[in-house]
Amino acid sequence: MINFLILPILIPLITGVLLIFANKSIMLQRWIAGLSAFMTVVVAAMLVQKVKNDGVQTLNLSNWDAPFGITLVSDMLSALLVLTTSVVAFACIIYSFKGIGEEREKFHYYAAFNFLIVGVNGAFTTGDIFNLFVFFEVMLMSSYVLILLGGTKIQLRESIKYILVNVISSALFVISIAYLYSVVGTLNMAHISVRLSELSGISQPGIVTIIGVLFLIVFGLKGAIFPLYFWLPGSYYAPPVPVMAIFGALLTKVGVYSIIRTYSLFFFEEAGYIQQLLIVLAILTIVGGLIGAIAYWDVKKIVIYNIIVAVGLILFGIATMNQDALTGSVFYLIHDMIIKAALFLLVGLMAAIAGTSNLRSMGGMIKRYPGLGWTFFLAALALAGIPPLSGFVGKLLIVQGGFASEHYWGAAIVLMSSLFVLISIMKIFINGIWGKPRAFENEERVPYKKLLIAPVILVILSVCYGVGADFVYPYISQAAETLTNTNIYIDAVLKE
Protein backbone atom coordinates (compact mmCIF):
# COMPACT_ATOMS: atom_id res chain seq x y z
CA MET A 1 0.00 0.00 0.00
CA ILE A 2 1.24 3.52 -0.85
CA ASN A 3 2.38 5.49 2.17
CA PHE A 4 1.06 9.00 1.52
CA LEU A 5 3.24 10.34 4.33
CA ILE A 6 6.37 10.72 2.20
CA LEU A 7 4.77 11.72 -1.12
CA PRO A 8 4.32 15.47 -0.36
CA ILE A 9 8.11 15.54 0.20
CA LEU A 10 9.10 13.14 -2.56
CA ILE A 11 7.03 14.66 -5.39
CA PRO A 12 8.49 18.20 -5.17
CA LEU A 13 11.97 16.72 -4.62
CA ILE A 14 11.83 14.67 -7.84
CA THR A 15 10.22 17.63 -9.62
CA GLY A 16 12.99 19.98 -8.52
CA VAL A 17 15.66 17.61 -9.86
CA LEU A 18 13.83 17.18 -13.18
CA LEU A 19 13.41 20.94 -13.57
CA ILE A 20 17.15 21.50 -13.25
CA PHE A 21 17.55 19.60 -16.53
CA ALA A 22 14.56 21.27 -18.23
CA ASN A 23 15.75 24.86 -17.93
CA LYS A 24 15.93 25.44 -21.71
CA SER A 25 12.16 25.19 -22.19
CA ILE A 26 10.09 27.57 -20.10
CA MET A 27 6.81 25.99 -21.25
CA LEU A 28 8.00 22.52 -20.21
CA GLN A 29 9.06 23.89 -16.81
CA ARG A 30 5.61 25.39 -16.31
CA TRP A 31 3.82 22.16 -17.18
CA ILE A 32 6.05 20.05 -14.93
CA ALA A 33 5.81 22.50 -12.01
CA GLY A 34 2.04 22.92 -12.36
CA LEU A 35 1.26 19.19 -12.61
CA SER A 36 3.60 18.40 -9.74
CA ALA A 37 1.99 21.04 -7.51
CA PHE A 38 -1.48 19.69 -8.33
CA MET A 39 -0.39 16.11 -7.58
CA THR A 40 1.04 17.25 -4.24
CA VAL A 41 -2.32 18.82 -3.32
CA VAL A 42 -4.11 15.55 -4.16
CA VAL A 43 -1.79 13.31 -2.11
CA ALA A 44 -1.80 15.78 0.79
CA ALA A 45 -5.62 15.70 0.84
CA MET A 46 -5.51 11.90 0.84
CA LEU A 47 -3.03 12.01 3.73
CA VAL A 48 -5.37 14.23 5.78
CA GLN A 49 -8.21 11.77 5.25
CA LYS A 50 -5.94 8.85 6.13
CA VAL A 51 -4.97 10.49 9.43
CA LYS A 52 -8.63 11.32 10.12
CA ASN A 53 -9.68 7.70 9.67
CA ASP A 54 -6.66 5.78 11.02
CA GLY A 55 -4.91 8.16 13.41
CA VAL A 56 -1.28 9.31 13.47
CA GLN A 57 0.79 7.95 10.57
CA THR A 58 4.49 7.08 10.90
CA LEU A 59 7.19 5.91 8.52
CA ASN A 60 10.67 4.69 9.47
CA LEU A 61 13.15 5.56 6.72
CA SER A 62 15.53 2.72 7.56
CA ASN A 63 15.57 -0.73 9.13
CA TRP A 64 15.84 0.92 12.53
CA ASP A 65 12.61 1.50 14.43
CA ALA A 66 11.99 4.64 16.45
CA PRO A 67 13.67 6.09 18.42
CA PHE A 68 16.91 4.88 16.80
CA GLY A 69 16.12 5.50 13.13
CA ILE A 70 14.84 8.52 11.21
CA THR A 71 11.06 8.70 11.51
CA LEU A 72 8.48 10.73 9.61
CA VAL A 73 5.33 11.46 11.59
CA SER A 74 2.05 12.88 10.37
CA ASP A 75 -0.56 13.73 12.94
CA MET A 76 -3.55 15.87 11.98
CA LEU A 77 -1.71 19.17 12.61
CA SER A 78 1.16 18.12 10.35
CA ALA A 79 -1.17 16.77 7.65
CA LEU A 80 -3.32 19.91 7.58
CA LEU A 81 -0.28 22.17 7.31
CA VAL A 82 1.17 20.03 4.50
CA LEU A 83 -2.16 20.28 2.64
CA THR A 84 -2.34 24.05 3.14
CA THR A 85 1.27 24.43 2.01
CA SER A 86 0.54 22.42 -1.13
CA VAL A 87 -2.54 24.50 -1.96
CA VAL A 88 -0.69 27.80 -1.46
CA ALA A 89 2.26 26.52 -3.54
CA PHE A 90 -0.10 25.49 -6.37
CA ALA A 91 -1.68 28.97 -6.41
CA CYS A 92 1.71 30.71 -6.41
CA ILE A 93 2.91 28.46 -9.26
CA ILE A 94 -0.16 29.46 -11.31
CA TYR A 95 0.53 33.15 -10.60
CA SER A 96 4.20 32.68 -11.52
CA PHE A 97 3.36 31.64 -15.09
CA LYS A 98 2.65 35.30 -15.90
CA GLY A 99 3.87 37.08 -12.80
CA ILE A 100 7.52 36.14 -12.29
CA GLY A 101 9.02 37.00 -15.67
CA GLU A 102 10.78 34.79 -18.20
CA GLU A 103 14.24 35.98 -17.16
CA ARG A 104 13.77 34.48 -13.72
CA GLU A 105 12.07 31.37 -15.10
CA LYS A 106 15.18 30.62 -17.16
CA PHE A 107 17.40 30.51 -14.09
CA HIS A 108 15.89 27.55 -12.22
CA TYR A 109 13.07 29.46 -10.52
CA TYR A 110 10.69 26.49 -10.52
CA ALA A 111 13.40 24.11 -9.32
CA ALA A 112 14.24 26.35 -6.34
CA PHE A 113 10.54 26.78 -5.64
CA ASN A 114 10.03 23.00 -5.44
CA PHE A 115 13.06 22.51 -3.19
CA LEU A 116 11.58 25.16 -0.89
CA ILE A 117 8.37 23.10 -0.67
CA VAL A 118 10.47 20.01 0.12
CA GLY A 119 11.92 21.86 3.10
CA VAL A 120 8.57 23.19 4.32
CA ASN A 121 6.68 19.89 4.01
CA GLY A 122 9.64 18.02 5.49
CA ALA A 123 9.76 20.33 8.51
CA PHE A 124 6.04 19.77 9.10
CA THR A 125 6.43 15.98 8.81
CA THR A 126 9.70 15.02 10.48
CA GLY A 127 9.65 13.34 13.88
CA ASP A 128 13.34 13.97 14.52
CA ILE A 129 14.67 17.24 15.96
CA PHE A 130 17.94 17.12 13.98
CA ASN A 131 16.09 16.44 10.75
CA LEU A 132 13.88 19.42 11.56
CA PHE A 133 17.12 21.41 11.35
CA VAL A 134 18.01 19.67 8.06
CA PHE A 135 14.66 20.50 6.47
CA PHE A 136 14.98 24.06 7.76
CA GLU A 137 18.28 24.31 5.90
CA VAL A 138 16.78 22.89 2.69
CA MET A 139 14.04 25.49 2.95
CA LEU A 140 16.47 28.32 3.71
CA MET A 141 18.96 27.48 0.96
CA SER A 142 16.11 27.47 -1.55
CA SER A 143 14.86 30.77 -0.17
CA TYR A 144 18.35 32.28 -0.61
CA VAL A 145 18.13 31.48 -4.32
CA LEU A 146 14.59 32.84 -4.62
CA ILE A 147 15.28 36.07 -2.75
CA LEU A 148 18.30 36.78 -4.99
CA LEU A 149 16.84 35.62 -8.31
CA GLY A 150 16.79 38.64 -10.59
CA GLY A 151 19.65 40.46 -8.89
CA THR A 152 17.95 43.85 -8.39
CA LYS A 153 19.57 46.35 -6.05
CA ILE A 154 16.99 45.93 -3.26
CA GLN A 155 17.24 42.13 -3.48
CA LEU A 156 21.01 42.19 -3.11
CA ARG A 157 20.85 44.62 -0.20
CA GLU A 158 18.11 42.83 1.77
CA SER A 159 19.43 39.33 1.05
CA ILE A 160 22.60 40.10 3.03
CA LYS A 161 20.53 40.78 6.16
CA TYR A 162 18.25 37.81 5.48
CA ILE A 163 21.11 35.34 5.00
CA LEU A 164 23.08 36.69 7.99
CA VAL A 165 20.11 36.38 10.37
CA ASN A 166 19.34 32.85 9.21
CA VAL A 167 22.96 31.72 9.43
CA ILE A 168 23.07 32.93 13.05
CA SER A 169 19.74 31.29 13.89
CA SER A 170 20.90 28.03 12.28
CA ALA A 171 24.05 28.06 14.40
CA LEU A 172 21.94 28.62 17.52
CA PHE A 173 19.66 25.79 16.40
CA VAL A 174 22.56 23.33 16.28
CA ILE A 175 23.80 24.52 19.69
CA SER A 176 20.29 24.07 21.15
CA ILE A 177 20.02 20.55 19.72
CA ALA A 178 23.48 19.68 21.13
CA TYR A 179 22.47 20.88 24.62
CA LEU A 180 19.22 18.96 24.40
CA TYR A 181 20.98 15.79 23.25
CA SER A 182 23.48 16.07 26.11
CA VAL A 183 20.55 15.99 28.55
CA VAL A 184 18.31 13.33 27.00
CA GLY A 185 20.61 11.30 24.71
CA THR A 186 18.11 11.05 21.83
CA LEU A 187 16.96 13.05 18.81
CA ASN A 188 13.54 11.48 18.23
CA MET A 189 10.98 14.07 19.33
CA ALA A 190 8.59 11.58 20.92
CA HIS A 191 11.47 9.95 22.80
CA ILE A 192 12.79 13.35 23.90
CA SER A 193 9.38 14.03 25.45
CA VAL A 194 9.51 10.72 27.36
CA ARG A 195 13.08 11.33 28.57
CA LEU A 196 12.32 14.86 29.74
CA SER A 197 9.30 13.56 31.67
CA GLU A 198 11.53 10.99 33.35
CA LEU A 199 14.18 13.57 34.21
CA SER A 200 11.82 16.20 35.58
CA GLY A 201 11.46 14.41 38.92
CA ILE A 202 15.14 13.66 39.53
CA SER A 203 17.25 16.43 37.98
CA GLN A 204 17.29 20.19 38.25
CA PRO A 205 14.96 21.76 35.68
CA GLY A 206 17.21 24.80 35.18
CA ILE A 207 19.04 23.40 32.15
CA VAL A 208 15.74 22.39 30.53
CA THR A 209 14.42 25.92 30.97
CA ILE A 210 17.57 27.33 29.38
CA ILE A 211 17.22 24.92 26.46
CA GLY A 212 13.57 25.94 26.12
CA VAL A 213 14.52 29.62 25.94
CA LEU A 214 17.25 28.82 23.38
CA PHE A 215 14.73 27.04 21.16
CA LEU A 216 12.34 29.96 21.60
CA ILE A 217 15.06 32.35 20.37
CA VAL A 218 15.84 30.08 17.38
CA PHE A 219 12.23 29.62 16.31
CA GLY A 220 11.41 33.19 17.27
CA LEU A 221 13.99 34.43 14.77
CA LYS A 222 12.56 32.18 12.08
CA GLY A 223 8.95 32.86 13.03
CA ALA A 224 9.45 36.63 13.50
CA ILE A 225 8.29 37.21 17.07
CA PHE A 226 9.08 40.36 19.07
CA PRO A 227 11.80 41.67 19.13
CA LEU A 228 13.30 39.28 16.56
CA TYR A 229 11.21 40.36 13.57
CA PHE A 230 13.47 43.30 12.65
CA TRP A 231 14.77 41.47 9.56
CA LEU A 232 11.40 40.51 8.09
CA PRO A 233 9.82 43.69 6.62
CA GLY A 234 12.78 44.51 4.38
CA SER A 235 13.63 40.93 3.43
CA TYR A 236 10.08 40.01 2.44
CA TYR A 237 9.65 43.28 0.54
CA ALA A 238 12.59 42.62 -1.79
CA PRO A 239 11.68 39.53 -3.90
CA PRO A 240 9.06 39.41 -6.71
CA VAL A 241 5.40 38.94 -5.85
CA PRO A 242 5.00 35.11 -6.05
CA VAL A 243 8.14 34.64 -3.93
CA MET A 244 6.91 37.26 -1.47
CA ALA A 245 3.59 35.38 -1.24
CA ILE A 246 5.19 32.01 -0.59
CA PHE A 247 7.58 33.54 1.98
CA GLY A 248 4.80 35.42 3.78
CA ALA A 249 2.42 32.47 3.79
CA LEU A 250 4.82 29.66 4.69
CA LEU A 251 8.26 30.50 6.06
CA THR A 252 7.28 32.22 9.30
CA LYS A 253 4.65 29.51 9.85
CA VAL A 254 7.36 26.85 9.92
CA GLY A 255 8.91 28.72 12.85
CA VAL A 256 5.50 28.97 14.53
CA TYR A 257 4.85 25.25 13.96
CA SER A 258 8.24 24.43 15.52
CA ILE A 259 7.30 26.42 18.63
CA ILE A 260 3.97 24.56 18.81
CA ARG A 261 5.61 21.15 18.44
CA THR A 262 8.52 21.65 20.84
CA TYR A 263 6.48 23.59 23.40
CA SER A 264 3.80 20.90 23.59
CA LEU A 265 6.17 17.91 23.50
CA PHE A 266 9.32 19.08 25.32
CA PHE A 267 8.69 21.98 27.65
CA PHE A 268 5.26 21.36 29.14
CA GLU A 269 6.91 20.65 32.51
CA GLU A 270 8.49 24.12 32.39
CA ALA A 271 5.19 25.75 31.42
CA GLY A 272 5.29 28.32 34.24
CA TYR A 273 8.25 30.38 33.10
CA ILE A 274 8.17 29.72 29.37
CA GLN A 275 4.41 30.18 29.22
CA GLN A 276 4.59 33.63 30.81
CA LEU A 277 7.49 34.61 28.55
CA LEU A 278 5.61 33.43 25.46
CA ILE A 279 2.44 35.30 26.43
CA VAL A 280 4.36 38.56 26.89
CA LEU A 281 6.24 38.11 23.60
CA ALA A 282 3.01 37.25 21.77
CA ILE A 283 1.28 40.42 22.98
CA LEU A 284 4.31 42.59 22.12
CA THR A 285 4.46 40.93 18.69
CA ILE A 286 0.82 41.84 18.04
CA VAL A 287 1.36 45.44 19.13
CA GLY A 288 4.58 45.82 17.10
CA GLY A 289 2.94 44.42 13.99
CA LEU A 290 -0.10 46.70 14.35
CA ILE A 291 2.07 49.80 14.68
CA GLY A 292 3.85 48.98 11.41
CA ALA A 293 0.63 48.04 9.59
CA ILE A 294 -1.05 51.32 10.57
CA ALA A 295 1.99 53.51 9.94
CA TYR A 296 2.98 52.51 6.38
CA TRP A 297 1.47 53.67 3.09
CA ASP A 298 3.11 50.96 1.02
CA VAL A 299 0.67 48.15 0.17
CA LYS A 300 3.32 45.44 0.48
CA LYS A 301 4.62 46.71 3.83
CA ILE A 302 1.08 46.83 5.26
CA VAL A 303 0.49 43.16 4.47
CA ILE A 304 4.01 42.24 5.66
CA TYR A 305 3.41 43.80 9.08
CA ASN A 306 0.10 41.95 9.27
CA ILE A 307 2.16 38.72 9.10
CA ILE A 308 3.75 39.77 12.39
CA VAL A 309 0.32 40.46 13.92
CA ALA A 310 -0.87 36.97 12.93
CA VAL A 311 2.24 35.35 14.42
CA GLY A 312 1.49 37.07 17.72
CA LEU A 313 -2.15 35.96 17.68
CA ILE A 314 -1.23 32.33 17.03
CA LEU A 315 1.48 32.34 19.70
CA PHE A 316 -0.92 33.78 22.28
CA GLY A 317 -3.24 30.81 21.68
CA ILE A 318 -0.32 28.39 21.96
CA ALA A 319 0.93 29.95 25.20
CA THR A 320 -2.57 29.85 26.72
CA MET A 321 -2.43 26.08 26.19
CA ASN A 322 -6.03 25.02 26.67
CA GLN A 323 -8.27 23.16 24.22
CA ASP A 324 -10.16 26.22 22.92
CA ALA A 325 -7.05 28.35 22.47
CA LEU A 326 -5.07 25.61 20.75
CA THR A 327 -7.99 24.80 18.43
CA GLY A 328 -8.25 28.50 17.63
CA SER A 329 -4.51 28.76 16.96
CA VAL A 330 -4.56 25.82 14.55
CA PHE A 331 -7.67 27.18 12.82
CA TYR A 332 -6.14 30.65 12.55
CA LEU A 333 -2.76 29.32 11.40
CA ILE A 334 -4.33 27.60 8.39
CA HIS A 335 -6.52 30.63 7.66
CA ASP A 336 -3.55 32.95 7.76
CA MET A 337 -1.46 30.85 5.38
CA ILE A 338 -4.24 30.98 2.78
CA ILE A 339 -5.29 34.60 3.19
CA LYS A 340 -1.78 36.05 3.39
CA ALA A 341 -0.83 34.35 0.12
CA ALA A 342 -4.00 35.76 -1.47
CA LEU A 343 -3.34 39.28 -0.18
CA PHE A 344 0.28 39.32 -1.35
CA LEU A 345 -0.80 38.22 -4.83
CA LEU A 346 -3.55 40.86 -4.86
CA VAL A 347 -1.37 43.77 -3.72
CA GLY A 348 1.31 42.56 -6.15
CA LEU A 349 -1.24 42.79 -8.95
CA MET A 350 -2.23 46.27 -7.77
CA ALA A 351 1.43 47.35 -7.76
CA ALA A 352 1.93 45.89 -11.25
CA ILE A 353 -1.05 47.87 -12.61
CA ALA A 354 -0.07 51.12 -10.87
CA GLY A 355 3.67 50.75 -11.50
CA THR A 356 4.29 51.41 -7.79
CA SER A 357 3.41 49.97 -4.40
CA ASN A 358 2.91 53.45 -2.90
CA LEU A 359 -0.72 53.71 -1.88
CA ARG A 360 -0.78 57.47 -2.43
CA SER A 361 -0.11 56.90 -6.14
CA MET A 362 -3.05 54.51 -6.58
CA GLY A 363 -6.81 54.97 -6.64
CA GLY A 364 -10.02 54.02 -8.38
CA MET A 365 -8.95 50.56 -9.53
CA ILE A 366 -12.41 49.11 -8.92
CA LYS A 367 -13.73 51.10 -11.89
CA ARG A 368 -11.69 49.16 -14.46
CA TYR A 369 -10.82 46.11 -12.36
CA PRO A 370 -13.96 45.17 -10.39
CA GLY A 371 -12.81 41.55 -9.98
CA LEU A 372 -9.62 42.71 -8.27
CA GLY A 373 -11.53 45.18 -6.10
CA TRP A 374 -14.16 42.84 -4.72
CA THR A 375 -11.73 39.94 -4.32
CA PHE A 376 -9.51 42.22 -2.23
CA PHE A 377 -12.53 43.39 -0.22
CA LEU A 378 -13.44 39.81 0.72
CA ALA A 379 -9.82 39.03 1.58
CA ALA A 380 -9.62 42.14 3.77
CA LEU A 381 -12.76 41.17 5.71
CA ALA A 382 -11.44 37.62 6.18
CA LEU A 383 -8.10 38.91 7.47
CA ALA A 384 -9.80 41.20 9.98
CA GLY A 385 -11.97 38.35 11.27
CA ILE A 386 -15.40 39.58 10.19
CA PRO A 387 -17.97 36.78 10.67
CA PRO A 388 -18.63 34.33 9.11
CA LEU A 389 -15.29 34.47 7.26
CA SER A 390 -12.30 32.32 8.18
CA GLY A 391 -10.46 34.77 10.43
CA PHE A 392 -13.41 35.03 12.80
CA VAL A 393 -13.65 31.44 14.06
CA GLY A 394 -9.97 31.05 14.97
CA LYS A 395 -9.78 34.44 16.67
CA LEU A 396 -12.97 33.79 18.64
CA LEU A 397 -11.62 30.49 19.97
CA ILE A 398 -8.29 32.11 20.91
CA VAL A 399 -10.14 34.84 22.83
CA GLN A 400 -12.34 32.25 24.58
CA GLY A 401 -9.24 30.30 25.57
CA GLY A 402 -7.59 33.48 26.86
CA PHE A 403 -10.56 34.36 29.06
CA ALA A 404 -10.86 30.76 30.29
CA SER A 405 -7.20 30.87 31.40
CA GLU A 406 -7.71 34.32 32.98
CA HIS A 407 -5.32 36.05 30.58
CA TYR A 408 -7.75 38.93 30.24
CA TRP A 409 -5.34 41.59 28.98
CA GLY A 410 -4.01 39.33 26.26
CA ALA A 411 -7.49 38.31 25.14
CA ALA A 412 -8.56 41.97 25.08
CA ILE A 413 -5.56 42.90 22.91
CA VAL A 414 -6.39 40.03 20.52
CA LEU A 415 -9.93 41.43 20.27
CA MET A 416 -8.71 44.99 19.73
CA SER A 417 -6.25 43.84 17.07
CA SER A 418 -9.16 43.00 14.76
CA LEU A 419 -10.15 46.65 14.62
CA PHE A 420 -6.65 47.87 13.83
CA VAL A 421 -6.05 45.11 11.27
CA LEU A 422 -9.31 46.14 9.59
CA ILE A 423 -8.22 49.80 9.58
CA SER A 424 -4.82 48.95 8.09
CA ILE A 425 -6.16 46.71 5.34
CA MET A 426 -9.19 48.87 4.51
CA LYS A 427 -6.77 51.76 4.04
CA ILE A 428 -5.58 49.88 0.97
CA PHE A 429 -9.16 49.35 -0.23
CA ILE A 430 -10.29 52.95 0.34
CA ASN A 431 -7.21 54.63 -1.12
CA GLY A 432 -6.13 52.10 -3.74
CA ILE A 433 -9.23 50.26 -4.89
CA TRP A 434 -11.92 52.87 -4.21
CA GLY A 435 -11.70 56.59 -4.89
CA LYS A 436 -11.17 58.61 -8.02
CA PRO A 437 -10.00 56.53 -11.03
CA ARG A 438 -6.48 57.19 -12.30
CA ALA A 439 -4.73 56.35 -15.54
CA PHE A 440 -1.59 54.23 -15.14
CA GLU A 441 1.14 54.18 -17.75
CA ASN A 442 1.86 50.46 -18.16
CA GLU A 443 -1.42 48.90 -17.06
CA GLU A 444 -2.20 47.60 -20.56
CA ARG A 445 0.88 45.36 -20.40
CA VAL A 446 -0.27 43.60 -17.23
CA PRO A 447 -2.04 40.25 -17.91
CA TYR A 448 -4.68 41.15 -15.33
CA LYS A 449 -7.18 38.31 -15.88
CA LYS A 450 -4.54 35.58 -15.80
CA LEU A 451 -2.86 37.00 -12.70
CA LEU A 452 -6.21 37.23 -10.90
CA ILE A 453 -6.92 33.48 -11.15
CA ALA A 454 -4.62 32.39 -8.29
CA PRO A 455 -5.77 34.94 -5.66
CA VAL A 456 -9.44 34.29 -6.56
CA ILE A 457 -8.90 30.56 -5.92
CA LEU A 458 -7.32 31.30 -2.52
CA VAL A 459 -10.02 33.79 -1.47
CA ILE A 460 -12.77 31.32 -2.44
CA LEU A 461 -11.02 28.66 -0.34
CA SER A 462 -10.77 31.10 2.55
CA VAL A 463 -14.49 31.92 2.35
CA CYS A 464 -15.37 28.21 2.19
CA TYR A 465 -13.06 27.56 5.15
CA GLY A 466 -14.94 30.11 7.26
CA VAL A 467 -18.49 29.36 6.09
CA GLY A 468 -17.83 25.61 6.29
CA ALA A 469 -16.28 25.79 9.77
CA ASP A 470 -18.63 23.07 11.03
CA PHE A 471 -17.24 20.69 8.40
CA VAL A 472 -13.55 21.39 9.09
CA TYR A 473 -13.87 21.70 12.88
CA PRO A 474 -13.48 17.92 13.56
CA TYR A 475 -10.16 17.98 11.69
CA ILE A 476 -8.95 21.06 13.58
CA SER A 477 -10.14 19.64 16.90
CA GLN A 478 -8.26 16.39 16.25
CA ALA A 479 -5.09 18.41 15.57
CA ALA A 480 -5.50 20.33 18.83
CA GLU A 481 -6.20 17.12 20.77
CA THR A 482 -2.81 15.72 19.75
CA LEU A 483 -1.19 18.86 21.19
CA THR A 484 -3.01 18.69 24.51
CA ASN A 485 -2.73 14.90 24.84
CA THR A 486 0.81 14.26 23.61
CA ASN A 487 0.57 10.57 24.48
CA ILE A 488 -1.36 10.09 21.23
CA TYR A 489 1.70 11.30 19.29
CA ILE A 490 4.25 9.51 21.50
CA ASP A 491 2.47 6.14 21.47
CA ALA A 492 2.08 6.23 17.69
CA VAL A 493 5.80 6.91 17.15
CA LEU A 494 7.24 4.59 19.80
CA LYS A 495 4.57 1.90 19.23
CA GLU A 496 3.84 1.65 22.94
**DSSP code string of 240-280:** -HHHHHHIIIIIHHHHHHHHHHHHHHTSGGGHHHHHHHHHH
Rounded Cα gap, residues 116 and 304, in angstroms: 20
Give the separation between CA 40 and CA 43, rounded to whole angstroms.
5
* Tens-digit pLDDT profile for residues 431-486: 888 877 777 777 778 888 889 999 999 999 999 998 988 999 999 999 999 988 88
CB atoms within 10 A of CB 5: 22
How would you class 453 by CB atoms within 10 Å of its CB: exposed for 0-12, middle for 13-18, buried for 19 or more?
A: middle
The predicted pLDDT at position 2 comes to 58
Report the pLDDT value the prediction gives residue 360, as an integer from 0 to 100.
Answer: 85
Q: How far is CA 336 from the centre of its chain?
A: 8
Q: How many Å apart are CA 149 and CA 232, to the nearest integer?
A: 18
Give per-residue pLDDT as tens, 49-100: 999 998 889 988 877 777 888 889 999 999 999 999 999 999 999 999 988 8
List beta partners, residue 188.
128
* Residue whose C-alpha is closest to residue 252's, from 131, 167, 340: 340
pTM here? 0.94
- The pairing of strands 57-60 and 71-74 is antiparallel
Residue ranges of domains in the chain: 4-494
Bridge partners of 59?
72
Between CA 349 and CA 468 the distance in angstroms is: 28
Judge contact between 350 and 299, C-beta under 8 A.
yes
The pLDDT value given to residue 321: 80
pLDDT of residue 408: 87
**Residue 55 backbone zone (phi > 0: left; psi -120 to 50: alpha; other: beta):** left
Q: Which residues contact 23 (CB under 8 A, 6 or more apart)?
A: 29, 106, 107, 108, 111
Residue ranges of the chain with per-residue pLDDT less than 50: 1
Is residue 64 packed enough to be buried (19+ CB in 10 Å), middle (13-18) or exposed (0-12)?
A: exposed
Question: What local confidence, expressed as pLDDT, does residue 1 receive?
Answer: 44
